[in-house]
Amino acid sequence: MAQTRPILIGNARVFDATGAEPFPADVLVEGNRIRAVARDLNTLEAIGADAIDATGMTLMPGLVEGHSHPTFTGVSEPAQLGEIPPEEHLLMTIKNTRVMLDHGFTSLFEAASAKLRLGVVTRNAINAGDFIGPRMRAASPEITTTAGLGDERRAHLYRESFALIADGVDERRKVARLCMREGVDNLKINVSGDDFVTHAKASITPMSRAEIATAVEVGHDFGKMLVAHSRSAESVKRCVEAGVDCIYHCDQSDEEALDMLERNKHRHYVGPAFGLLYNLMYEHEKIGIAKQWLLDRGFDRAFDVSCRTYHEMRRRGIRVVIGGDYGFAFTPQGQNARDIHHFVRFFGYSPSEALQCATRVGADLMGLKGECGEVREGFLADLLLVRGDVVADVSLLQDKANIAMVMTDGRLWRDPRRDVAREALPLAAE
Ligand SMILES: [Zn+2]
């Protein structure tokens, strides 16, 4: 349901996400595509077009959240996600997709869904045009092993979390096929543990090679992507060997793991999900986490190790996407664009490179390579207008008040000519 009239965005400073310097241009959108990018201002033939004056603003591709969790509702621990009834959980999920769209994220690559059908149903409703939302690749829940990240049960007590627990090759195949049947795009496996799990720390790799290979086989047989929670060096190596498409965290990667990733860099994407660590280290007091609690669990070391690892990832030309595990109490949805600044500040990316990770590289991960993620003729019209010079100051993107226009698939979610944000209007699309 695109706008009926073409839209002419005039006199914008265009950041096209190819690595080129920003340049002034007029950009014409017709239907859901960018029809023309004219560097000679005031030369476009745009009869009957709606005009938007972009003087003083940056026109750039919409942001891609490469590790999004729209089903994470601001909880402080995973077991709380298991306690939310599915009906309420679906409404919260839809709301979170809108929060992210409102902050400039026109694509969400879901890193895991807290329940099997939440991401799938939300994606389907957006694709059907039932409501305006970001593009979505919907994920499965986090498939884990007994004693892995996401197994919140105790010997005397059953507890749901965000995981599906499957041990051994046969159970793994069955649960992966279940996720295929229910329509996920991304199959998520928790290969390593994490430092907030007492029985499976980040350095532990509970998932066997055979279990990983089985998930990859099923996912790829159905034409879907495999995504992994992998902090330990061993987990990264097992994921590369098995052909997991997107490997998250990778913070404890040793030289061998980095070499393996580099040799296979055209097969894999990685994502640090660094927002989680940053907020834990710098904003823990806001939610009552004591510094000592973090130090006892080694989060300060994890922070430093992540910085070193992602300097290397950048240097070796490995494809890295933004996305910071937003959706916990200490990482509220809407802060997602902070990751761009983190890439510059902590990993040594130039502002332009970090913005490319957040747009073009993310669009490639979405499966839209050559079709989305750049301001280019013929590309899908997922576009932002940002007040000011985003390349000079990437932190402008952290405040939605600076985002004057959000366009998704050619439709205006936020229109700089109206002072009423779409968020204040009813749920239905036009
Ligand atoms: Zn995550």
Q: 111 CA distance to ligand 1 centroid (A)?
A: 6
Q: 303 CA distance to ligand 1 centroid (A)?
A: 16
pLDDT of the residue at 33: 98
Q: 393 CA distance to ligand 1 centroid (A)?
A: 27
pLDDT of the residue at 418: 83
- Local confidence band at 142 (pLDDT 50, 70, 90 cut-offs): very high
- Whole-model pTM: value is 0.95
Q: 327 CA distance to ligand 1 centroid (A)?
A: 9
- The pLDDT tens digits for 335-379 are 999 999 999 999 999 999 999 999 999 999 999 999 999 999 999
Q: 378 CA distance to ligand 1 centroid (A)?
A: 33
Residue carrying the six token digits 């890193």: 111
Q: 246 CA distance to ligand 1 centroid (A)?
A: 12
Q: 69 CA distance to ligand 1 centroid (A)?
A: 7
Q: For the chain, which domains are there?
A: 7-62+373-414 (2.30.40.10), 63-336 (3.20.20.140)
- The pLDDT tens digits for 201-225 are 999 999 999 999 999 999 999 999 9
Q: 421 CA distance to ligand 1 centroid (A)?
A: 30
Q: 229 CA distance to ligand 1 centroid (A)?
A: 7
Q: 215 CA distance to ligand 1 centroid (A)?
A: 18
Q: 272 CA distance to ligand 1 centroid (A)?
A: 10
pLDDT of the residue at 421: 52
- For residue 293, the SS3 value is helix
Q: 112 CA distance to ligand 1 centroid (A)?
A: 7
Q: 174 CA distance to ligand 1 centroid (A)?
A: 23
Q: 144 CA distance to ligand 1 centroid (A)?
A: 13
Q: 326 CA distance to ligand 1 centroid (A)?
A: 8
Instruction: Count Cβ atoms below 10 Å from residue 147 Cβ, excluding itself.
Output: 15
> How far apart are the C-alpha atoms of 325 and 105, rounded to whole Å?
14
| Mean pLDDT of the residues in the chain | 94
Dihedral sign computed on CA atoms, order 347, 351, 355, 360 = negative
pLDDT of the residue at 422: 52
* C-alpha neighbours within 13 Å on the C-beta side of residue 168: 2
Q: DSSP letter string over 21-86?
A: PPEEEEEEEETTEEEEEESSTT----TTPEEEE-TTEEEEEPEEEEEE-TT--SBSSHHHHHTS-H
pLDDT of the residue at 1: 47
